[in-house]
Structure 1
Amino acid sequence: MACRISEIVLDCADPERLAAFWCEVLGYAVLRRDGDDIEIGPPEGSGGLRPVLVLNRSDDPRPGKPRLHFDVNATDRDQEAELDRLLGIGARPADVGQTGEEDWHVLADPEGNEFCLLRRRVSEVR
């Protein structure tokens, strides 16, 4: 038997702000609150194919470049329309040394965590 990723934990200064942002990006909902920490995931709950995201309150400063980032794909629109939507909800362009020839966009969430918007559209997993 193999494992699958069921949760991704992200340390952050403002879990409320990031929960709102990532819920909007991913079509997720708040599933659970534990003190300042917030778990978000698919509206139908955890345990399915899509992992939940745990936003863990932390005051520790981010030490250098993160070793992990998210890649997201639009499910119901083309890449440019999704880019406009993400920028409208608080994402901002991020420069990690791109050449300008890439077919993806590098963005940052409201706390500066980088993620990529890939070109290919994928079907929504439920």
Structure 2
Amino acid sequence: MACRISELVIDAADPERLAAFWSDVLGYAELGREDDGSIEIGPPGAGFGGPQPTLVLSPTADPRPAKLRLHIDVSPTDRDQPAELDRLLALGARPADIGQTGEESWHVLLDPEGNEFCLLRRRLDPA
């Protein structure tokens, strides 16, 4: 038997803001809220345990201490990479310079709270 990723938990100063951002990026919907202020988002109609992991935006007052050891990679599903980059920037993502050469096939971005993620070139089936 094996494991699979069921959810990713991201600490957030403003869970509401990050939930809205990542819902727009991924086409996710809000699945629930906890008493501690955590917000879970995931694929509409599937939710926790579905084929894609859900995201839990968990409130924290601790500032980000350093570069995260894990980041999210996203791939476009219904447009090419340049068009998806424009969409992500319009949603509030910002370009990040982490020492890229300019020859990479991906774009390094920051979400509204400064968490790094990458937009890959390869287009994926949305399913």
Tell me if both proteins adopt one fold, taking TM over 0.5 as the criterion. yes
**Counterpart mapping for 1:78-97 below 5 A:** 78-97=80-99
Q: 2:68 maps to which residue?
A: 66
Q: Distance in 1 between matches of 2:34 and 2:48?
A: 16
Q: 2:16 maps to which residue?
A: 16
1:30 aligns with 2:22: no
Cα-to-partner distance string for 1:49-89 (whole Å, 9 max, x where unaligned): 10000000000111111000000000000000000000001
Identity %: 72
Amino acid at match of 1:6: S
Q: Distance in 2 between matches of 1:13 and 1:48?
A: 27
After superposition, the CA RMSD in angstroms is: 0.6
Amino acid at match of 1:7: E
1:49 aligns with 2:51: yes
Cα-to-partner distance string for 1:8-51 (whole Å, 9 max, x where unaligned): 00001000000000000000000000131100000112211100
- Runs (4+) of structure 1 exceeding 6 A deviation are none
Q: 1:105 maps to which residue?
A: 107
